[in-house]
Amino acid sequence: MTEPTGRRVRGGYTPVDPDKFVHIDRPSDASLRGAMVVGFVLAIGAGASAAAFVVVLFDPAEDWIYLVAALIGASLALLWSVRSTLRSGRRRREDFVRCGGDPTGMTDMMFGSMRGVRTPEGRWEVPEQGSGDYV
Q: Is residue 61 part of a domain?
A: yes
Question: Please, what are the averages of pLDDT over each run of 10 residues along the chain (135 residues)?
Answer: 53 59 77 89 96 91 91 96 92 84 83 83 74 52
Q: What is the model's pLDDT at position 47?
A: 96
Q: Is residue 76 part of a domain?
A: yes
Give the length of the chain: 135
Provide the domain count of the chain: 1
Domain boundaries, position 102:
41-117
Q: What is the model's pLDDT at position 132?
A: 52
Q: Is residue 32 part of a domain?
A: no
Q: What is the model's pLDDT at position 12?
A: 52
d(C-alpha 83, C-alpha 97), whole Å: 21
Q: What is the model's pLDDT at position 65?
A: 92
d(C-alpha 45, C-alpha 17), whole Å: 41
Look at residues 98, 122, 100, 132 and name the one whose alpha carbon lies nearest to residue 28: 132
Q: What is the model's pLDDT at position 28?
A: 80
Q: What is the model's pLDDT at position 54?
A: 93
Q: What are phi and psi of 117, to 5 degrees?
A: -140, 155
Contact 85, 39 (CB under 8 A): yes
